[in-house]
Amino acid sequence: MQYKIYLSPPHMSGCEMKYVQEAFDSNWVAPAGPNIDAFEEELCRYTGSKHALAVSSGTAALHLALLSLGIGPGDIVLCQSLTFVATANPIMYVGATPVFIDSEPVTWNMCPNALEDAILHYINLGKRPKAVIVLHLYGMPAMLDEILYLCKKYEIPLIEDAAEALGSEYNGRKVGTFGDIGILSFNGNKIITTSGGGAMLSGNAQYIEKARFLAMQAREPVRHYEHREVGYNYRMSNICAGIGRGQLEVIDERVKQRRGNFEFYFQQLKTLREINFQKEPIGVFSNRWLTAMTISRSVASRVNVNTILNELNNYGIESRPVWKPMHLQSIYASQKYFGNNISGTLYEQGICLPSGTAMHEADLRYICGIILNKLQR
């Protein structure tokens, strides 16, 4: 339907056309060109990563990350359950086996205790996991100290899915730069967009070089077209990279606006005992890509997530449930899962509110008024 207020629409800065026009004027409209090189350099400067590779989507970046780590058929990959399906699907692309890990109730991200249980289970079977994929859900950094400790202790590479978390920080450092490889998304609903696109970050140049090679159809560096392994058409276009450059110029402002949205919701709704928001622990800085909250089961007899979703929808406002965990998805129901179904509870009780950076205070006040009216009846 056509909403009056969308969940997370694109927000152009006005800076993008300068770079897009340069691409047209120079005829660099292919998946190569100066905007791509510059965008990768600018991503490195902003995130603090040593290396970056701009590609066609965050999903493509994650697929390339797994391939760069040499993961393939028969390998075990431990993956956060409470996430969008694009975090899990690339594990299947490479023929590996996804094993899903529950959330902890504070940040809603991967539970370190459940992670260690899974690691020990597979080590005892003689099948040490080949990677851990942790997500920074809705921009909220995961418990990285604990997760990094476990990955180092058991010698397992860490991939950070920071698709939703560009601009978020953990102890003053940008997320996506803690693991062996980090993933970003520039989909149309993200905090900045290239219309469609993503990036792979790493401090390891070999991972980036391998991914770059595979993203360009695995063409060997010879005059003719020589291919010795399967490659992919995953490079970002020079035009899309130009959009990204213009968007990146306003990333700090966009983060400030998203956090301002959260603060407004929190101040307006914090008196309702039925509502709890995704928490930001000490030392953590979330970009608050989406404002996410839960509605207590204690009021389920008269109001629940679907009640609020339907009410907002009736007023032309787009809102969403939180991600349905992977271990509850029919496609992955047969895969092993470690935890106490905290992620399932968050799914049952969680809702994401409109969080676009072009929203006005009047929009936020309007949304809060609908929620207050429904919960206070």
Q: Which are the catalytic amino acids? A: 190
Handedness of CA 92, 337, 81, 147 (dihedral sign): negative
Residues facing 183 on adjacent strands? 161, 200
Please state the length of the chain: 377
Contact indicator for 105, 77 with CB cutoff of 8 Å: no
Q: Distance (Å, rounded) from C-alpha 51 to C-alpha 204? A: 7
Contact indicator for 241, 38 with CB cutoff of 8 Å: yes
Q: Distance (Å, rounded) from C-alpha 53 to C-alpha 37? A: 9
Q: Distance (Å, rounded) from C-alpha 152 to C-alpha 236? A: 33
Whole-angstrom CA distances from 202 to 67, 124, 210, 252 are 14, 30, 12, 22
How far is it between the farthest Cα atoms of the chain?
Answer: 73
CA angle 201, 203, 208 (to 5 degrees): 55
Q: What DSSP character marks residue 324?
A: P
Helix (H) or strand (E) holding 166: none
Q: What are 132's two structure tokens?
A: 């851990």
Q: Distance (Å, rounded) from C-alpha 351 to C-alpha 344? A: 13
End-to-end Cα separation, the chain, in angstroms: 28
Contact indicator for 244, 20 with CB cutoff of 8 Å: no
Handedness of CA 209, 210, 214, 217 (dihedral sign): positive
Q: Distance (Å, rounded) from C-alpha 235 to C-alpha 240? A: 10
3-state secondary structure of 275: strand
